[in-house]
Structures are given as structure tokens and as C-alpha cells.
Structure 1
Amino acid sequence: MGSAKYELITENEGYGASVRWALASLSLSMLMSSLDTSIANVGLPTLAQVFNASMQEVQWVVLAYLLVITTLIVSAGRLGDIIGRRRLLLIGISLFTVTSFLCGAAHTLWLLIAARAVQGLGAAIMMALTVALVGETVPRSKTGSAMGLLGTMSAIGTALGPSLGGFLIAGPGWRNIFFVNVPLGVLNFFLARRYLPAHEQRGKADRNSFDNLGTLLLGLTLTAYALAVTVGNGHFDRLNVVLLLTAVFVGGLFVFAESKVTSPLIRLNEFRNVVFSTSLTMNLLVATVMMATLVVGPFYLSRGLGLKVAFVGIVMSVGPVISALSGIPAGRIVDLLGAKAVVMIGLIAMTLGLFALSILPGMFGVAGYIAAVAVLTPGYQLFQAANNTTVMMDVQTDRRGVISGMLSLSRNLGLMTGASVMGVVFALASGAAHITTARPEEVASGMRLTFIIAGIMMVLALFIAVVRRTSVPVN
């Protein structure tokens, strides 16, 4: 059924057979890496029992994967620019597939965590190069539709993870949440090898000039920042401050180093490009506020509205389902109206949806929550398809990998920041001593203020888009 749906979509977009199969490979790469972002979460209680470990220990099964993706995704994109994006994507798919098997075969928790970390490297390569390869796979006029398709596959993977993981754990066993990637990876490898374009032009001067120092410093910076916003279980204490200061210090060293090397990992002058720098900023803001729905939503539905756990899961699945359904139409709208205009349309819809989340649930309960999400989520897909298209449309061929990696990095940093910051905002806004024991009215109060702040952040993003549109000629 999924294959038939994919073929219908690509036929409707006017792609040839070889392009459809190439897009199938890119879509599968996005699906696999997104699926494993969420599929392991549901298995954490089972893993704690199997390995006789604490919850803090088994959480590293998830954190190791996300940390490696975040710290290495830009470097993976740059390496693809140097040695060939198709070649590196094949390596990434192979690495992801092999380590998926090793994860499922692990007999100790620390072997599982180590395998997940290497699996994260494979996922970083796949995430960085999937978007970059769109420019070499589809006609320029269909870029928006292709970005919408990838957005749909990302949403499907994220949404499918918890339900598929729960089914596999309850049935064949926890190891199969990793083994399921093996046949998908084998199929993806052969599709990528057969149909993705192999003739990539790369700058001769850059072929042997990978920025090792820049890669190390950026990795250390991102690791320190990621740990600063994830450790502490929502409490910002001395360790978090030290990690944050470390990130700032090493980040300063990274900027200094990049200004001195002849072939830097990130060219600092690229941030002078208004379109590029504003797109990254908006991407980070959007990801931050979208994470608020995942952090705040379950608490409000369960403690604020008193829903049972099963019904909370059903309501929370509404957003990912809408996201999956709206990705393809969002891409078509981008091709029809232009990326820069659709960025603004998406941000307006998101702003309305966030302010609606601060008002409608208090008035209409679950129905109000779903109505607000039904406005917010399509706006998010419109923004993602349009923003990715805006950035990738005019990128130099030898920089597509690293620019795609930076787009993904800004999104990941936003998600991590949102999980930490918006969680703290919600806890403080509720006024409760502990959010897990907060009264319904306290949770409702926290919900309102959190999404008012999120809405203000989207107003800021919209202001950035308006200023950019008035200062940069529309293509």
C-alpha cells in the first residue's frame, strides 16, 4: 500500500521512472533515520528490566543516537561534498543497517549504547545527504514537491516509531525494534546504488581538504550544548552552567579556527547571506516551539483534562497524522506560489495555531486542542517545505551537503532547546512545586502561558520573514 501511494504521488508530480526510484531511496533514508529517532523511546522500560538498569542509564540508548546525529550532521554533509554524496550515502546506509543488527544482537546495555552511537553516525549521513541530493535528482521546478515528500516521510517515521515499537516489543520482542531496519536498509542500499546519480562535480581544491580541527571543535561545542540542555531532568544547576559555558568557549575557538583555515567546514561569510542566515534562525525557532506540543501536550491532556493514557496517545497522534497528510500538498503549494511567499503563509498559520492552543483547549477541551493542532501542523509543513526549498534552491553544487547538514542541525538544536526551555517555562508557569503533582487548573495555566510565549516566538519568526522579503528581491 505504501509503495502504491508513493508511486501515485510521484506519477502525479510528473517524474520519470528513474527519478521516482531515486526519490524512493531518498524517502526511505529519511523514513529510517526518523523512525529510529522515536522507536526506541517506547522500549526504555523494557530495556531497563532486561538489562537490570536504571532509567537514567537506559535513556542513553536514545541520547547516544541523538547526540551523535546533532554533533556530526554538518561534518557528514561536508564530507559528502568532498568525496561524493552518493558514495557517502551508500556508506551511511550500510553503517546504519549493520549497526541496527548489532543493536538488536547486543547482550549488554553498554554494547547497545555503543551500537546506537555508531547508528547515529549512519543516520547523520542519511539526514544530511538526503535533502542535498534532491537538487541532483529532481528538476528545479519540482524541488518543493520533493521537499514536501521528504517532510511527509520524516513525519511518518516519527509518528510510526512509538506504535511500531510497541507492537514489536509486545510481539516478537525488543530486539526487533532494531532488526526491522535490516531489510529496509538492504533495499535502500540497492535502490540508492542503482538509481541515485553518480556523476557529481566537486571542487578539485576541496577534495583532500576536510577540516579536521573545525570538525573536532564543532563536535565538542555541540556535544557540550546538547548535554547542557538535556541533563538534569529539567533542573538547570551547576553542571548545566559549566556545560553551557564550555559550549560558548569552544564555540569561540571554532569560529576563530574557521576564520584561519583555507577550506573551512563552515564558511563564516555564508552567514552574511540574508536568506541563509534568516532561514536557519527561523528553522531553529520553529523547531523550538513545535517541541513544546510534544512536551506540554501530554501533561495537559492527562492532568489538565483528566484523559486516560490510551486516549492521550490517540489525541497526541493527531498532529503527526496531519503532518504526514499535509507534507505532499505543502510541497505542491511551494512549487505553485513560490518558496518565500509560502514561508510567510506557514508562519502565519503556525502563529494562529499556537495562540489558539493557549485559548481553545480552555474553552472547548479536547476538541479545542485538536482544532488548534489542525491549524498549527499544516503551517509547520508549509514552512518546512518552503524553507528547505529556499535554502537549497541556489546552493553551489559543492556546498549542498554541508548546507543541508546545517539546516538539519538548526532543527535538531531547536528540538533539544525546546524540550528543555519550553519544559522549564511550562513548569514555572504552572506555579506548582512539581509538575507531576500539579492541580488541573495549574496545568491549564502553564499551558496558556507556554503557548502564548511560543506564539510570540513565531511572531518574531514572522517579523524576520517580512524583513527578509522586503530587503531581498523575490525570485
Structure 2
Amino acid sequence: MTHPPSPAAAGRSALAALALCALLPALGTSIANVALPTLVQAFGSRFESVQWVVLAHLLASTTLVVSAGRLGDLLGRRRLLLASIALFGLGSGLAAAAPGLWSLVAARALQGAGAAGMMALGLALVAAAVPAQRSGQAMGLMATLSAFGTALGPALGGLLLAGLGWRALFLLQLPLALLALGLAVRFLPADGPARTAERFDALGALLLALTLAAYALALTQGAAWGLRGPLLGLAALGLALFVWAQRRVAAPLVNLAQLRAPRLRAQLLATALVAVVLMTTLVLGPFHLVHSLGLDAAGLGLAMAVGPACVALVGWPAGRAVDRWGSAAVGRLGLLGMLLASTGLALAPLAWGLAGYLGPLVALTSSYALFQAATPSALLAGVAPMQRGLVSGLLNLARNLGLVSGAALMGAVFVQALPSGGLGRAGPAEVAAALRHSFVLASGLLLLALAVAWARLAPPRPPA
């Protein structure tokens, strides 16, 4: 005779399922990057075509994350999370079995659609399932596993690629998705009745998806296609149409009045600005490590793993700090630490070598872990339960847009600071100087984020 698990054990298992929902989207994104050169050879395609294996996942997850959160609020978060995990697993299996490049791209888009629901609904369900006095620890765990997935992807992907081939990178994700699905089915509490009286705003969802797709494509492919201006114009037109449509429906996808709340706007702005700065280390860091400091491939891999490893190590203690001292104080401390570390990267001379880069990087990413643990706790604690899916989707959207914008903005600043002739003619000192220019801008963005946080992010009042 089997006995049902104790409430504490069931709660831990439910949290494990939600933690996997943070791990898998991050792992699914980062593990594919290392396979691109191999896929060029495997399919006999150009890099411009193969990079859609990464872009399809990015576009699907970015354009659908808000709609997934809203659908979860209407239909039931557990129901939609189970569907999202199943879709992610299906995409993983189809990617592993893909007979050609474009079938692989389609499978990755399915994965990205599933990842959108997992990201939005995982955070919302944590806020609902974990007692308020332990929400910081739970959010810290989610941040830790997301960072761990980002760090694990390139290393694990390289090993699998060398030993088993590119299909193993996607096949690995299928049993992990099945584990998450099994835990979620068994341990997540059942949803209440669906809110069928409210209709889903399909037009708003379509307009928002097209707007976000145009913006993301403008920043990732616009220059190569010679269409950056037209795509940005299309994104601006789509945004105007989206706002117009939201004002004319009874149950909009995004309540624009809610976005006028100072606290929500401040959290979303700070999240986007922090993501821009984080992308500076991910995109520009490798150029500095290789061209300025002379690291080989193995050294580069180890150095690039330092940042995600710091987030993974600090995430859980950061969550405990949120529970003890409050999300506002810890979030501000995280932003202040990031500002000081970014300033250090902007000032560190090349003569300080690897230590002059990794020291501030450790401080930057550890402070980011503090901010990352505090932000969802602060935001979702002040939101009515029926809105948590939508707000969680908006938070993930702000982060994704910050990452996409950061890659384009900081890349442009870096290239502009290089001497004529570009990276190929730049010496170590010139590459290091270009990196410092980028971190001067990053420090300015963090100063703005800190000012916003100090002015707007007072401790929230729980909803009635």
C-alpha cells in the first residue's frame, strides 16, 4: 500500500518541476550555439541559413511569452504549463530526428513556443505555490538553475557533439522534459475553473507577436539583409496598432492602465537595462579575452563559464537574503554592486591582465544574482493572483528584449570604438579600449536603473 507524499515532500517535488522549467529553456538556448559550425557541414548550408536554428527558438520564445502568461491566467496555469512542457519535449524529439535543416528550424520554433510558456508560467506558479516568507529562496533557485542551464549548455554541448553528434544535443532535452512533465502532473496543485467569461485577445496577441518579431529581426538580421530601417519602422507601426487595439477591446491582452503603474514600469525598465548590461559580457567578453588577453579556446571556455557559475552559486543565498531583508533592499544592493563592477570594467587597464577582467566580472554577475532573485519576488508579490501569468510574461519579455537590444547596441558601440579597419587590424590595447567604451555606456544604463529603483521600488502592498 502506497502512502501519499507529505505536504512538505509534495511541495519540494512541485518546486523541482518548476525549477526544471527554468533550467530547460536556458539549456535549450545555449546548447544549440556550439552546434552551428557542425550543422553547416552536416547540411551543406551557409551559416546565414544555419543560424536560424538559434533564431527560431529566440523569436518563438520572445513573441509568445506574454500571450502564454495571459492564456495561463484565463485557462489555468497548470494546464497550460503541462501543454508547454509537452510542446518543448515534442520539439526536442523532432529536432533530434530532423531529416533536414528547415525541419530542424521548425522543431526549434516548437521548442521556443514551449519555452515561452515554461518561462512565464513557471514563475507565476512559484509565486502562487510557495509561502511568501520563502518566495525569495524559490526565486533564487529559479535564477540559479536558469544560469546553470546557460553555463552548462556550451560545455555539455561540446562534449556531446564530440562523442555522439549534433542530434544528441536535442535528444538529451527530451527525457528532462518528460521528467518535468511527470513531476508537474503528479505534484502541481490542480487549477480552478477556467475563466471562460473573459475572451482571449487574439488580435492583440497577433499584433504583439508581429511587432516583437519585426524588432528582433531588425536587430539580429536587419543589417545583413539591408532592412534594419524598414523592420524597425514595421515594429513601430505594429506597436501603434497594438496600443490602438488594446484600447478598444473589453478584455485586452495587456491592460495599458496597469502598465502606467509606476512600480510595474520601474521593474520592467530595470530588468531590460540590466539585461542589456549582461549581454555586454556575453557578446563582447570573448573578443577581449581572445584578442586582448590572448586566451586559447579552452581558456576562453573556462573564463566564459565564470559569470554563469557565480550566478548559480549566489542565487540560493540571494534568495534567502530577499526573504530576510526584503526584495527592495536586496534589489537595490544588486544594482549598486553591478554599477560598481561595471565601472571597474570601464576603468581597468589592460596591464592588469585576466584578473582585471575576471575580478569585476565576478562582482558583476554575483550582484546580478541578487537583482535576479529580488525582482520576481518584488513584482509578483504586489500583483493580484489572476494577473500573475501576464505579469510574469511581461517580466520575461523585458529581459529578452534587453538581451536582444544589448547585443545590437553594445556591439555597435564596440565596433565604433575600434580603429578603421575593424577588429582584424586592431591590436590588444585597441580592443581593450573599445571594451572599456562599452562598459562606460553600461555603467550609465545601470546608474539609470539604480535611480529608477530608488525612486519607484518601495516595498509592495499585498493585493487585497
Q: Shorter-chain TM-score category?
A: over 0.9
Task: Give 1:66's match in structure 2, choosing from 33, 58, 61.
Answer: 58
2:206 equivalent in structure 1: 216
Taking the aligned partners of 1:184 and 1:348, their CA distance within structure 2 comes to: 37
AA matched with 1:399: Q
Conserved 8 A contact 1:77-1:402: yes
After superposition, the CA RMSD in angstroms is: 1.5
Deviation at 1:199, TM superposition (A): 3.2
1:377 equivalent in structure 2: 365
2:4 equivalent in structure 1: none
2:138 aligned with 1:146:
yes
Task: Give 1:228's match in structure 2, choosing from 218, 222, 227.
Answer: 218
Q: Tell me the TM-score normalised to structure 1 length.
A: 0.93
SS of aligned partner of 2:35:
helix
Percent of counterpart pairs with the same letter? Answer: 49
2:170 aligned with 1:178:
yes
Conserved 8 A contact 1:95-1:122: yes
Deviation at 1:118, TM superposition (A): 1.1
SS of aligned partner of 2:165:
coil
2:305 aligned with 1:317:
yes
Taking the aligned partners of 2:444 and 2:305, their CA distance within structure 1 comes to: 25
Q: How many residues align?
A: 456
Summarize the alignment of residues 360-439 of structure 1 with structure 2, pairs less than 5 Å apart.
360=348, 362-439=350-427
SS of aligned partner of 1:395:
coil
Deviation at 1:342, TM superposition (A): 1.2
Task: Give 1:350's match in structure 2, choosing from 308, 321, 338.
Answer: 338
Conserved 8 A contact 1:25-1:191: yes
2:262 equivalent in structure 1: 274
AA matched with 2:170: F
Taking structure 1 as reference, are residues 204 and 111 closer, same or farther at Cα in structure 2, changes over 3 Å only? Answer: closer
AA matched with 2:132: R
Taking the aligned partners of 1:151 and 1:126, their CA distance within structure 2 comes to: 14
Taking structure 1 as reference, are residues 237 and 460 closer, same or farther at Cα in structure 2, changes over 3 Å only? Answer: farther
SS of aligned partner of 2:197:
helix
Taking the aligned partners of 1:405 and 1:456, their CA distance within structure 2 comes to: 27
2:240 equivalent in structure 1: 252
Deviation at 1:394, TM superposition (A): 2.1
Task: Give 1:110's match in structure 2, choosing from 81, 86, 102.
Answer: 102
Taking the aligned partners of 1:448 and 1:92, their CA distance within structure 2 comes to: 41
Taking the aligned partners of 2:319 and 2:27, their CA distance within structure 1 comes to: 21
Taking the aligned partners of 1:212 and 1:443, their CA distance within structure 2 comes to: 47
- Unaligned stretches of 5+ in structure 2? 1-6
Q: Tell me the TM-score normalised to structure 2 length.
A: 0.96
Deviation at 1:455, TM superposition (A): 0.5
Deviation at 1:363, TM superposition (A): 4.2
- Unaligned stretches of 5+ in structure 1? 1-14
Taking the aligned partners of 1:334 and 1:289, their CA distance within structure 2 comes to: 22
Deviation at 1:203, TM superposition (A): 4.4
Q: Deviations over 1:288-311 (max 9, x none)?
A: 011000111100111111222221
Conserved 8 A contact 2:343-2:439: yes
Taking the aligned partners of 1:380 and 1:202, their CA distance within structure 2 comes to: 37
Task: Give 1:75's match in structure 2, choosing from 67, 75, 88.
Answer: 67
Conserved 8 A contact 2:382-2:460: no
Q: Deviations over 1:219-253 (max 9, x none)?
A: 00000000011014xx4885101000110011000
Conserved 8 A contact 1:431-1:446: no
Runs of 4+ residues deviating >6 angstroms: none
Of 164-173 and 355-364, more deviation after overlay is shown by 355-364
Taking structure 1 as reference, are residues 318 and 432 closer, same or farther at Cα in structure 2, changes over 3 Å only? Answer: farther
Taking the aligned partners of 1:375 and 1:123, their CA distance within structure 2 comes to: 29
